[in-house]
Amino acid sequence: MVENAEKSQERYKMHVDACFGALVVAMKELRDSHVFHENVFLTVASTDPSDYLERLEHAVVQNLNSDSIFSEWQAWISMF
């Protein structure tokens, strides 16, 4: 039973990683194609975030935004 739960958890994590990664790639392509104005903040987040998903979000914010927007986001997020 524990082994099945662990396998299920690992499958869920793989699914989350794949979906999250696809969203990040899509947002990056849109940013690079200038679909979004450079001053628009981009992120990928979950409406029901876990610690893991929050770590994923924090890791991609810098990749999706300019240095100045990233710095503003860091200052904002540090308040919570």
Ordered by start, the domain boundaries in the chain are: 2-77
Cα 2 to Cα 74: distance, rounded to the nearest angstrom: 39
* Per-residue pLDDT tens digits for 27-79: 999 999 999 999 999 999 888 778 999 899 999 999 999 999 999 999 999 99
pTM summary value: 0.80
Between CA 26 and CA 20 the distance in angstroms is 10
pLDDT higher than 70, residue 1? no
Cβ–Cβ under 8 Å, residues 66 and 36: no
